[in-house]
Chains A and B, each alone.
Chain A
């Protein structure tokens, strides 16, 4: 399949997610698509697979102009996407699952044609028992099933979105073997990833997106440093600020293990000092969220201990953690942090009501107005949270944190905020650190990490690096580690 896309634009609100992207993909090519979080990779792939519609631009398939309004359109034209999360029905038998998809795109294949499936899977070297249930398969096997399904439905262009997350090494080998075979047979493949090693091994060409724009394209063989530079750009490192870090450890983590559906973290160790800021670097979904949530008591670790001032606290729930001064601020502000349909004043009442029974409306109004002024929130005590802008929601979340907070766990604290809001939020956070509060935050912004963090932990597929002092760290090195290079074996 020969694909040509021309001048694609896509906006989400004020964000220009895809900015004038043009691209030609030839038959039989394995194309790598690289870029940091928010670079516009997923948006572009979703446009190509019909999940979202572009604002302007053209898609030519085999020299014919096509309009893709939904994934079924794309499937009928032979474009299929392998999503990060399997798009299947775990409670169904595998055959039922396949037939549903088949009916959806309007093919008239019957039960008999399931024999084709066996052929496809033998060719690719997969070993799924097609008579079983979907729910009994591992994540890797479900991915194989999806691949078989897409090929069975006649897909010519295969888009894979971070396909190696959550599957085993041997499954990855099988997958790569299968993809190479498919390319030889003339299928076109787009491989979205942030792992340089994989891209190097598999792809014959790589394109890099940054901030919505197509920055460049390279043909194999690739130079890693070249790709890292393309992905992250050259950034000027700002002058380091003074540290508030003291010599006293408040939180220590010993051999902490965390198990999640996709990611497992093993034997993590860390000593957090009072007043210290630790940054968690890594691509989204490398385990940072699970790590923060475990430290907040929301997720229970499968092994190891968390000690606060030498007292073990793992095993307790997050409300106990909060009582001890450990607070978590999620990145999904409206979904996990604030209550839609409730106003600012109600949030302030809930955050510091203590043991009162009745609401003291006069007092709470005063407190609300004071906090709103103090945190410079553009809103009134009676404004509902969902009416606030993202930056103001983040300010509200921070203004809700108790003064007694000793450890703040912040997930992407400045994501989606303009520079001014981000700077302001950090000035507030730094102020807190002077009063011995410690902060652990995750971020996708290398500049933010090296500038604000005293030490950085890099996450890669659930692996956590040794703490790296941010002062001696250059961004190129950090970029390589995030891409999975330079890790001690």
Chain B
């Protein structure tokens, strides 16, 4: 019986992915484009040359970091919509530290380390604000996070056009870039840094072990699945929910720091680049299993990078890769719902 379920589970998952492709193909046809050509362009755009593969990996790092954080809050049963703001605050804190220390003459390793730590602090503070509003103010974490996202964006714009504006004229292109000595060292000829890949891999492992092999992870799971029973088992639920926010804030802050130090080398208005929201999609797809986030985030990152080819090659809008990403999630979740109904019906008939 259980074995049977496993096979149907996989069949439904594959069906979800196929339906998403089919749906995107229809959207492409409505846009008068050849779907196969578009898919081929996206694929080639992501992997055809070493530089493109490296670019996909550059996009993979922030996505996997946010997914790491979000899997933790999901496990605790919380919707950390505020992750975008947490990334942004991480980026702001990192920029602030780097600006303070860039002329200090300290070794860049020290400055960068402080930068990353500042990013973590920024992310954690913003996450604790959302968590605090939930547990002490009774505000839903979704609304608290959403509100804090707007504040974070406003703060970024204010800093870029206000106190941190470039000499001469302030512009949407962000603050003045840092010296190259404060850039995360990259592999020569590529935008990719071995350090960022390493950070992503370590993060995945840490979260995997945390959720799989520690008491904290198990407690978070219990809190997420049934807070009432968790209390009966002696788990202080709100403390653990707050903890999940803090842990997620660490990864969000790291993402922000990485975007500043490793990618943009300055603060730009859309520093989070939507990786928080995209991470939510990844976390939903992988259903608490962080190891699955590795390939899924890679696929999403590749879609992001490959999508850039669409306007160049086919005069299509690059947002089509967004259509694909979100339809993947929608149809996957939809078919998962269908699967549950189907299994229920089947069990009912086999009972009788």
Chain A: residues with CB nearer than 8 A to chain B?
298, 318-319, 322-323, 327-330, 335-342, 346-347, 349-351, 353, 356-359, 361, 400
- Beyond the given pairs A329-B232, A357-B214, A357-B216, 13 more chain A to chain B contacts, judged by CB atoms under 8 angstroms and listed by A's residue number, are A298-B231, A319-B231, A322-B234, A323-B234, A337-B232, A338-B229, A339-B222, A346-B218, A346-B222, A350-B222, A350-B235, A351-B233, A361-B213
Tell me the B214-244 residues at the A interface (CB within 8 Å): 214-216, 218-219, 221-222, 225-226, 228-236
Expressed in whole angstroms, the minimum distance between the Cβ of A196 and any Cβ of chain B is 35
Q: Enumerate chain A residues within 8 angstroms of B228, measured Cβ to Cβ.
A: 330, 335-336
Q: For the complex, what is the distance from the CA of A119 to the CA of B216, rounded to whole Å?
A: 63
Query: When the two chains form their complex, are residues B218 and A349 in contact, meaning their CB atoms are under 8 A apart?
Result: yes
Chain B: residues with CB nearer than 8 A to chain A?
213-216, 218-219, 221-222, 225-226, 228-236
Among A298, A318, A346, A359, the residue within 8 A (CB) of B214 is A359
Query: When the two chains form their complex, are residues A340 and B226 in contact, meaning their CB atoms are under 8 A apart?
Result: yes
Tally inter-chain residue pairs, CB-CB below 8 A: 64
Expressed in whole angstroms, the minimum distance between the Cβ of B186 and any Cβ of chain A is 36
Among B215, B221, B225, B230, the residue within 8 A (CB) of A357 is B215
Among A330, A346, A353, A361, the residue within 8 A (CB) of B232 is A330
Among B214, B215, B216, B229, the residue within 8 A (CB) of A336 is B229
Please name the residue on chain A nearest to B232 by beta carbon.
Answer: A337
Q: For the complex, what is the distance from the CA of A339 to the CA of B229, rounded to whole Å?
A: 6
Please name the residue on chain A nearest to B2 by beta carbon.
Answer: A387
Please name the residue on chain A nearest to B239 by beta carbon.
Answer: A319
* 13 A/B residue pairs, CB under 8 Å, sorted by A: A319-B234, A338-B229, A339-B222, A339-B226, A340-B225, A341-B225, A346-B221, A347-B233, A350-B215, A351-B234, A356-B215, A357-B215, A358-B213
Q: For the complex, what is the distance from the CA of A339 to the CA of B226, rounded to whole Å?
A: 5
Q: For the complex, what is the distance from the CA of A353 to the CA of B226, rounded to whole Å?
A: 18
Q: Enumerate chain B residues within 8 angstroms of A351, measured Cβ to Cβ.
A: 233-234
Q: Enumerate chain A residues within 8 angstroms of B230, measured Cβ to Cβ.
A: 339
Q: For the complex, what is the distance from the CA of A400 to the CA of B225, rounded to whole Å?
A: 18
Q: For the complex, what is the distance from the CA of A342 to the CA of B213, rounded to whole Å?
A: 14
Most buried by B among A327, A336, A346: A336
Q: For the complex, what is the distance from the CA of A298 to the CA of B225, rounded to whole Å?
A: 19
Q: For the complex, what is the distance from the CA of A298 to the CA of B234, rounded to whole Å?
A: 12
Q: For the complex, what is the distance from the CA of A319 to the CA of B230, rounded to whole Å?
A: 11
Query: When the two chains form their complex, are residues B229 and A319 in contact, meaning their CB atoms are under 8 A apart?
Result: no
Q: For the complex, what is the distance from the CA of A25 to the CA of B233, rounded to whole Å?
A: 50
Q: Enumerate chain A residues within 8 angstroms of B213, measured Cβ to Cβ.
A: 358-359, 361
Expressed in whole angstroms, the minimum distance between the Cβ of A371 and any Cβ of chain B is 15
Residues A350 and B232 in contact in the complex (CB < 8 Å), given A339-B225, A340-B226, A341-B225:
no
Q: For the complex, what is the distance from the CA of A338 to the CA of B229, rounded to whole Å?
A: 5
Expressed in whole angstroms, the minimum distance between the Cβ of B71 and any Cβ of chain A is 16
Q: For the complex, what is the distance from the CA of A342 to the CA of B226, rounded to whole Å?
A: 10
Among A319, A338, A357, the residue within 8 A (CB) of B236 is A319
Q: For the complex, what is the distance from the CA of A164 to the CA of B215, rounded to whole Å?
A: 48
Q: Enumerate chain B residues within 8 angstroms of A322, measured Cβ to Cβ.
A: 234
Expressed in whole angstroms, the minimum distance between the Cβ of B9 and any Cβ of chain A is 15
Residues A338 and B215 in contact in the complex (CB < 8 Å), given A319-B236, A350-B233, A350-B235:
no
Q: Enumerate chain A residues within 8 angstroms of B229, measured Cβ to Cβ.
A: 335-339
Most buried by A among B230, B233, B235: B233
Query: When the two chains form their complex, are residues A353 and B222 in contact, meaning their CB atoms are under 8 A apart?
Result: no
Q: For the complex, what is the distance from the CA of A328 to the CA of B214, rounded to whole Å?
A: 26
Q: Enumerate chain A residues within 8 angstroms of B236, measured Cβ to Cβ.
A: 319
Q: For the complex, what is the distance from the CA of A322 to the CA of B214, rounded to whole Å?
A: 22
Please name the residue on chain A nearest to B235 by beta carbon.
Answer: A350
Most buried by A among B218, B222, B229, B233: B229
Query: When the two chains form their complex, are residues B225 and A328 in contact, meaning their CB atoms are under 8 A apart?
Result: no
Expressed in whole angstroms, the minimum distance between the Cβ of B247 and any Cβ of chain A is 15
Please name the residue on chain B nearest to A355 by beta carbon.
Answer: B215
Residues A359 and B215 in contact in the complex (CB < 8 Å), given A319-B234, A330-B232, A337-B232:
yes
Q: Enumerate chain A residues within 8 angstroms of B216, measured Cβ to Cβ.
A: 357
Q: Enumerate chain B residues within 8 angstroms of A342, measured Cβ to Cβ.
A: 221-222, 225
Q: For the complex, what is the distance from the CA of A340 to the CA of B225, rounded to whole Å?
A: 7
Q: Enumerate chain B residues within 8 angstroms of A338, measured Cβ to Cβ.
A: 226, 229
Query: When the two chains form their complex, are residues B231 and A318 in contact, meaning their CB atoms are under 8 A apart?
Result: yes
Q: For the complex, what is the distance from the CA of A359 to the CA of B231, rounded to whole Å?
A: 20
Q: Enumerate chain A residues within 8 angstroms of B225, measured Cβ to Cβ.
A: 339-342
Please name the residue on chain B nearest to A351 by beta carbon.
Answer: B233
Please name the residue on chain A nearest to B226 by beta carbon.
Answer: A339
Q: Enumerate chain A residues within 8 angstroms of B234, measured Cβ to Cβ.
A: 319, 322-323, 351
Most buried by B among A330, A349, A350: A350
Q: For the complex, what is the distance from the CA of A323 to the CA of B233, rounded to whole Å?
A: 11
Q: For the complex, what is the distance from the CA of A361 to the CA of B218, rounded to whole Å?
A: 12
Expressed in whole angstroms, the minimum distance between the Cβ of B221 and any Cβ of chain A is 7
Please name the residue on chain A nearest to B233 by beta carbon.
Answer: A350
Please name the residue on chain B nearest to A297 by beta carbon.
Answer: B231
Expressed in whole angstroms, the minimum distance between the Cβ of A53 and any Cβ of chain B is 16
Q: For the complex, what is the distance from the CA of A107 to the CA of B221, rounded to whole Å?
A: 49
Please name the residue on chain B nearest to A332 by beta carbon.
Answer: B228
Expressed in whole angstroms, the minimum distance between the Cβ of A11 and any Cβ of chain B is 12
Among B218, B222, B233, the residue within 8 A (CB) of A359 is B218
Please name the residue on chain A nearest to B215 by beta carbon.
Answer: A353
Closest 7 CB pairs of A and B: A339-B226, A336-B228, A353-B215, A339-B225, A339-B222, A322-B234, A341-B225
Q: For the complex, what is the distance from the CA of A322 to the CA of B213, rounded to whole Å?
A: 25
Q: Enumerate chain B residues within 8 angstroms of A356, measured Cβ to Cβ.
A: 215
Expressed in whole angstroms, the minimum distance between the Cβ of A326 and any Cβ of chain B is 11
Expressed in whole angstroms, the minimum distance between the Cβ of A243 and any Cβ of chain B is 29
Q: Enumerate chain A residues within 8 angstroms of B219, measured Cβ to Cβ.
A: 350
Q: For the complex, what is the distance from the CA of A327 to the CA of B235, rounded to whole Å?
A: 13
Q: For the complex, what is the distance from the CA of A26 to the CA of B219, rounded to whole Å?
A: 59
Please name the residue on chain B nearest to A357 by beta carbon.
Answer: B214
Expressed in whole angstroms, the minimum distance between the Cβ of B350 and any Cβ of chain A is 15
Expressed in whole angstroms, the minimum distance between the Cβ of A279 and any Cβ of chain B is 22
Q: For the complex, what is the distance from the CA of A398 to the CA of B236, rounded to whole Å?
A: 21
Q: For the complex, what is the distance from the CA of A298 to the CA of B232, rounded to whole Å?
A: 9
Expressed in whole angstroms, the minimum distance between the Cβ of B6 and any Cβ of chain A is 14
Expressed in whole angstroms, the minimum distance between the Cβ of A464 and any Cβ of chain B is 24
Expressed in whole angstroms, the minimum distance between the Cβ of B119 and any Cβ of chain A is 26
Please name the residue on chain B nearest to A330 by beta carbon.
Answer: B232
Q: For the complex, what is the distance from the CA of A12 to the CA of B216, rounded to whole Å?
A: 39
Among B214, B215, B233, B235, the residue within 8 A (CB) of A400 is B233
Query: When the two chains form their complex, are residues A336 and B232 in contact, meaning their CB atoms are under 8 A apart?
Result: yes
Q: Enumerate chain A residues within 8 angstroms of B231, measured Cβ to Cβ.
A: 298, 318-319
Please name the residue on chain A nearest to B236 by beta carbon.
Answer: A319
Q: For the complex, what is the distance from the CA of A329 to the CA of B231, rounded to whole Å?
A: 11
Expressed in whole angstroms, the minimum distance between the Cβ of A411 and any Cβ of chain B is 11
Q: Enumerate chain B residues within 8 angstroms of A346, measured Cβ to Cβ.
A: 218, 221-222
Query: When the two chains form their complex, are residues B218 and A350 in contact, meaning their CB atoms are under 8 A apart?
Result: yes
